[in-house]
Structure 1
Amino acid sequence: MRQTGEVTNRDSFLRHLSNKLGRNEKKKNVTLPRWEENPQYDVLEGASQNELVEVFKQAAEKVDVNVFETTIKDSGKTLRKVLQDYGESVSIRTDDERFERCGLTPILEEYGTHVWKPNEESIKIAEQSGVGITFSDYTLAESATVALTTSRGKGRSVSLLPKTYIALIPKSTIVPRLTQVTDFIHTEYQETNDISSCIKFISGPSNSADIELSFVVGVHGPIKVTYIVIEDY
C-alpha cells in the first residue's frame, strides 16, 4: 500500500506569506492561465512512431547508449545477447508483469536474476548487482530518456545501484518529449487522484562534469546503459 503524507498548517502558512508580500489572500475563482502560444507541442508534432524511434536512436547515440530493436517474439534472444555482452554474474529486475508478457521470465530465471521486493535484502542485492533491468513506462524521443514510475514492485534501486542498466522499451511508450509525459501524468492524477511516489528520468549512463570540469561517468549510477526497443503493437 502506498504511503500518503499529510499537509498541516497550510492555510496559516499561506496567510502569513501573503501578509508578508503585502497581497490579499485569494481563495476563490483562481484559474490557471491560458497561453496563446504552446511551442512545446510543436516539437516532432505529427511524427510517426517509426520516425520517433529514429529520433530516439540518434539522441541515444549522443549520450553513449547502445540501442537494439526487436519484436516481442525475439526480445528474449536480444536480451540474452546484451546480458552475455555485459558478462555480469548478478542481476536484479523489477517485479513487472511485462517480463512475463514478453516471455522473458525463463531467461532471467536462467541467469538467476533477483526480482525486486520492497525490503533491505533487495537493496543490498541491487548494490552488488552488475545489471539492473526495468521496463520503461514513458520514453522521450527527443532526449533518449526513459521515465520510470515507482511502486512496491518497482524500486528506485534497480536502475540506480547496479553497475550497468538495461531498459526494455515498448515502442508504444515513445513520445516526442517531456511535454507529453507530464500531460499523461497530470491526466492520470486527475482521473485516479494517485501518483507515483517518485518518477525517474534516465538519459543514458550517469555522468558529471561539475567537479573541476572533468567529465566522469558513473558518479551517481550505472556506467553503461543499453536500450532495447520492443515492437509491441
Structure 2
Amino acid sequence: MTVSGKDSFLNHIASKLGRERIYDVQRPDLQALAPDSYGSLTADELIEMLKEQCFFIHTQVIESNAEILQQTLDDLVAANGGGSVITSGDARFAEYGLEFANASVWEEAAGREQNILRSEAANTAIVFADYALAESGTVVVESRPDQGRALHFLPAHYIAVIEKKRIMLRSTRAAADLNRRIQAGELLGSSINFISGPSNSADIEMKLVVGVHGPLRAAYVLI
C-alpha cells in the first residue's frame, strides 16, 4: 500500500518550515515525556486515585471479584432499568462465565450495520477495559472486529469491567505498552478510544450537562 503524494506533501511542509526535510525520524521516549510525579505507587494507591478521579467525572466505581462479578453486573443492569444488553465479543466474558438475559453480542459475523443497530437498541453496554488510567479516570478500549466504536457510544448506559492488573497511572503508560505490542508484531485495533465517564458538555452558557451525546451513566467495576 502506498500513500499518494506523500513526498510532495512532506517536502512542502519542510519548505514552509524553512529547513531541509528530515528523513531519519526518531520515536519519542514515551516514558520520559511524562515521568511519574507521584513517585512509586502501589496497586492500592492507584485504585484510590482512580476512585477519587471518578467522583469528579460522574462515574460510579464498584469493587467486586470474579466470584460475584455476574451478580454485580446483573445488579447494575437492573439499576439501569433492565432492558436489552450488548456486550463485546471479548473472550473474557467466557473466562468469567458471564451470561446476560436479553443480550446481544457485537460480533464480526453480524456485519457493521447490524452491530450498530444492536448498539442503538441496547439500554446497557458491558465491555472489558484494555487499560484504566488512574490519573484521569479513563478506560482505554480498542476498536476491533469483536468490539466496534458504536458499542461504547450508542447505548444509554455504559459499564466497563476493569481487572486491577490493567490499572496504570496515565496515558503515556498505556501508549508505551501499546507501542511495545506493535514492536512485537501484534496487530492492534483500527482505533484506540480513551473514555472518561459519561458524555458531557459545557458548551452552552458554561453549564455542565451530562449525557448529551452518548451514555447517560457510566460505571466501572473493579475485579
TM-score (normalised: structure 1): 0.87
Match of 2:18 in 1: 22
Question: Is 1:145–1:204's contact at 8 Å kept on the other side of the alignment?
Answer: yes
Task: Give CA deviations for 1:114-149 in whole Å, capped at 9, x if unaligned.
Answer: 001242112112112110111000100111110000
* Partner amino acid, structure 2, of 1:210: D
Match of 1:13 among 9, 19, 22: 9
Pair 1:26–1:143, CA change in 2 (3 A): closer
Pair 1:25–1:151, CA change in 2 (3 A): same
Match of 1:49 in 2: 43
Gaps of 5+ in 1: none
How far apart are residue 113 of structure 1 and its match? 0.9
Q: Alignment partner of 1:18: what SS?
A: helix
Residue 200, structure 1, aligned to residue 193, structure 2: yes
* Partner amino acid, structure 2, of 1:112: N
Alignment of 1:128-207 (within 5 A): 128-192=121-185, 194-207=187-200
Identical residues among aligned pairs (%):
36
Which is worse superposed, 120-129 or 211-220? 211-220
* Aligned-residue RMSD, C-alpha: 2.1
Gaps of 5+ in 2: none
* Partner amino acid, structure 1, of 2:103: T
Distance 1:20 1:226 in 2: 48
Match of 1:115 among 93, 105, 117: 105
TM-score (normalised: structure 2): 0.90
Task: Give CA deviations for 1:47-87 in whole Å, capped at 9, x if unaligned.
Answer: 11111111111111111111111111111111111111112
Question: Is 1:44–1:176's contact at 8 Å kept on the other side of the alignment?
Answer: no
Pair 1:45–1:100, CA change in 2 (3 A): farther
Distance 1:32 1:21 in 2: 20
